[in-house]
Chains A and B, each alone.
Chain A
């Protein structure tokens, strides 16, 4: 339980120093590893930026978006999910969800920064974005809205976290609500970046923005469960009944959202195969029974959804070890899910139906080692912030009023 008396700056600093000093060698080793990943990714990303991305990345003319874009999508999906699921409690007043607020808001900032970190190395000239997004905005562009709204979202999430730290409940709620609205708007625009491309039948339609929001909440549940259990393990503390209850209800929401995404996925497959629609059917068949079947059935369906669904049900929201296993499995599956979504939409060439020799087959893409290291750097950044946050913010303990 946190101290209710007004803290001094010296007191806060000495508290942080004490907590960092009390950490074991394993903690510092993990900090070093995650920081090294971030630095390695930043170094390689800068190298690619200076010497030309084509020397380092395996993306090409027909597949311009690779694993870095899917990793960015993964992180912003995660961040939006953390924001939305945690807002059920501290914004919309559902008491059971209250204890997860602080850590979730902190992690939503960490994950979106990780997303920005990764995409900075995928976009070829990111500094121009900072200038021309402002002085030459294209209001018909979903990617412009997405970038702008995520900027607004990040500002609100920062403000919300600071208000949560200061125990100023009302402004925290206002910022949390505004952040949720900006997050939903930004994230559905990210879905629309894919969904509104008229020449890409696999993505095209209103499905993507809707799917992205539901998928974000599913991911949010997994990440909240995983990081809260890991946080308590890291701090060597036993969970209180309030936190146990919060994770129990988060698990229930997670079960519901896995079912929602399974439902969405089923209809995506049915819609892409019934009537064999041009541009979508070959991709769906490659997903179901072709070259991408393993990625789809093993990672996306089994590891990402069905396995965790069974484990969550078996755990009854109380067995933390099973829940940890389920959430880790889910996060791995969701990462592949995002990769499948980004890659498969491009795997069918735009001239496929023309029947020309160059494009009468589905395209392939495997990330280069450089792309994988930069993507890993994003995970390193989230892990680094998480580890640091646990000590600096004292396990994100919640004030009781």
Chain B
């Protein structure tokens, strides 16, 4: 059909478009939204069904490949996640010291709810800036789990990792005399056999879903790999390939 034919066609309106076509169109729109919102990671994720096993291994090189999905609209800001994190990981009670927090966003002219809460923590990026900039390898990507860890005895306190992190996930812990950050409760829970993080465990609303992206039957894997609902990451433009995803519903 050429351009001329299109111009001469009669406008039939959208009233008679079948429901299935509307759904397909909506799905396509959501998939496109997800791809653009998620940047490089989600563009790769969205083609997963057509990828072969070798591609899959390249995408999720860690086993387990720990990840978290935030069901953002479920968060009611009860802050139990933050309290659990503080108690589990001995986060000092001083201003600016936290491993995870909840941000508030007001949209006054929104229809319906006007406030939403956005939980944030270290995104355990696949291409972390913090590990690249650290002069002494005090922070590094664990080769087994993909978690970004700290070797506190090597930290010189230059705070370049804080500058490099696009997620404000780090702070200097005066008690430890080293930079501190979320490590998905590796030392306090996961390495001791627990299956989830303290924050995910404490959340009463099912906001934080912790899981393993290297397993196809994992809820996190399934959420990230579906195309019906938009899934996105924060600050995709930083190019760090984060492992914390966001969705609604």
Task: Tell me the A residues contacting B by CB distance below 8 Å.
Answer: 52-54, 60-62, 64-65, 123-126, 128-129, 132-133, 136-138, 140-144, 147, 193, 196-200, 278, 346, 349-351, 353-359
Which A-chain residue is minimally distant from B169 (CB atoms)? A350
Which A-chain residue is minimally distant from B136 (CB atoms)? A132
Q: Is the CB of A356 within 8 A of B105?
A: yes
Contact A142 to B153, CB < 8 A, known contacts A198-B240, A199-B165, A199-B166:
no
Minimum CB–CB distance from B113 to chain A (whole Å) comes to: 15
Known: A199-B238, A353-B235, A357-B106; 11 extra A-B contacts, CB below 8 A, are: A54-B174, A61-B96, A61-B168, A125-B157, A128-B136, A132-B135, A133-B135, A143-B160, A197-B129, A199-B164, A200-B163
Does B222 sit at the interface, judged by CB under 8 A? no
Contact A52 to B171, CB < 8 A, known contacts A132-B154, A143-B133, A199-B129:
no
Residues in A whose Cβ lies below 8 Å from that of B159:
64-65, 124
Q: What are 29 A-B residue pairs whose CB atoms fall within 8 Å in the complex?
A: A52-B174, A53-B174, A54-B174, A62-B96, A62-B168, A64-B163, A65-B163, A124-B157, A133-B135, A136-B137, A138-B132, A140-B132, A141-B135, A193-B133, A198-B164, A198-B166, A198-B238, A199-B235, A199-B238, A199-B240, A353-B235, A354-B103, A354-B118, A354-B235, A355-B105, A356-B104, A357-B104, A358-B103, A359-B103
Residues in B whose Cβ lies below 8 Å from that of A354:
103, 105, 118, 234-235
Residues in A whose Cβ lies below 8 Å from that of B234:
351, 354
Q: Is the CB of B118 within 8 A of A126?
A: no
Q: Is the CB of B133 within 8 A of A141?
A: yes
Q: Is the CB of B103 within 8 A of A356?
A: yes
Q: Is the CB of A124 within 8 A of B172?
A: yes
Of B134, B155, B163, B168, the contact of A197 (CB 8 Å cutoff): B163
Minimum CB–CB distance from B247 to chain A (whole Å) comes to: 16
Does B138 sit at the interface, judged by CB under 8 A? yes
Residues in A whose Cβ lies below 8 Å from that of B167:
199, 350-351
Residues in A whose Cβ lies below 8 Å from that of B162:
61, 64
Of A125, A144, A351, the contact of B168 (CB 8 Å cutoff): A351
Contact A144 to B156, CB < 8 A, known contacts A351-B168, A356-B104:
no
Residues in A whose Cβ lies below 8 Å from that of B156:
123-126, 128-129, 132-133
Complexed CA–CA distance, A60 and B172 (Å): 9
Residues in A whose Cβ lies below 8 Å from that of B97:
61
- The 10 A-B residue pairs whose C-beta atoms are closest, nearest first, are A124-B157, A199-B166, A61-B96, A144-B135, A132-B136, A64-B159, A356-B103, A129-B156, A199-B238, A64-B162
Residues in B whose Cβ lies below 8 Å from that of A196:
133
Residues in A whose Cβ lies below 8 Å from that of B87:
none
Which B-chain residue is minimally distant from A355 (CB atoms)? B105
Complexed CA–CA distance, A342 and B96 (Å): 20
Does B158 sit at the interface, judged by CB under 8 A? yes
Complexed CA–CA distance, A358 and B104 (Å): 7
Residues in B whose Cβ lies below 8 Å from that of A350:
165-168, 235
Residues in A whose Cβ lies below 8 Å from that of B135:
129, 132-133, 137-138, 141, 143-144, 147
Q: Is the CB of B136 within 8 A of A133?
A: yes
Contact A349 to B238, CB < 8 A, known contacts A125-B177, A132-B156, A358-B104:
no
Does B239 sit at the interface, judged by CB under 8 A? yes
Complexed CA–CA distance, A144 and B95 (Å): 30
Of B94, B155, B163, the contact of A128 (CB 8 Å cutoff): B155
Complexed CA–CA distance, A346 and B239 (Å): 19
Complexed CA–CA distance, A136 and B97 (Å): 27
Minimum CB–CB distance from A186 to chain B (whole Å) comes to: 13
Complexed CA–CA distance, A140 and B165 (Å): 16
Complexed CA–CA distance, A71 and B134 (Å): 21
Complexed CA–CA distance, A198 and B167 (Å): 11
Residues in B whose Cβ lies below 8 Å from that of A62:
96, 168
Complexed CA–CA distance, A199 and B9 (Å): 49
Identify which of B103, B135, B137, B177 gathers the most chain A CB atoms within 10 Å of its CB: B135
Which B-chain residue is minimally distant from A198 (CB atoms)? B238
Does B187 sit at the interface, judged by CB under 8 A? no
Interface of chain B residues 117 through 153 with chain A (CB within 8 A): 118, 120, 129, 132-138, 153
Residues in A whose Cβ lies below 8 Å from that of B239:
198
Complexed CA–CA distance, A359 and B104 (Å): 10
Residues in B whose Cβ lies below 8 Å from that of A133:
135-136, 156
Q: Is the CB of A136 within 8 A of B133?
A: no
Residues in A whose Cβ lies below 8 Å from that of B160:
141, 143, 193
Complexed CA–CA distance, A22 and B154 (Å): 51
Minimum CB–CB distance from B98 to chain A (whole Å) comes to: 9
Complexed CA–CA distance, A345 and B224 (Å): 33
Complexed CA–CA distance, A41 and B155 (Å): 24
Q: Is the CB of B94 within 8 A of A54?
A: yes
Residues in B whose Cβ lies below 8 Å from that of A349:
168
Residues in B whose Cβ lies below 8 Å from that of A193:
133, 160
Interface of chain B residues 228 through 247 with chain A (CB within 8 A): 234-235, 237-240
Q: Is the CB of A64 within 8 A of B172?
A: yes
Identify which of B94, B104, B137 gathers the most chain A CB atoms within 10 Å of its CB: B137
Residues in A whose Cβ lies below 8 Å from that of B238:
198-199
Complexed CA–CA distance, A61 and B163 (Å): 10
Complexed CA–CA distance, A144 and B132 (Å): 10
Minimum CB–CB distance from B232 to chain A (whole Å) comes to: 11
Q: Is the CB of B136 within 8 A of A357?
A: no
Q: Is the CB of A129 within 8 A of B133?
A: no
Minimum CB–CB distance from A170 to chain B (whole Å) comes to: 35
Minimum CB–CB distance from B78 to chain A (whole Å) comes to: 18
Complexed CA–CA distance, A297 and B47 (Å): 51
Residues in A whose Cβ lies below 8 Å from that of B132:
138, 140-141
Minimum CB–CB distance from B121 to chain A (whole Å) comes to: 13
Residues in A whose Cβ lies below 8 Å from that of B103:
351, 354, 356-359
Complexed CA–CA distance, A123 and B172 (Å): 11
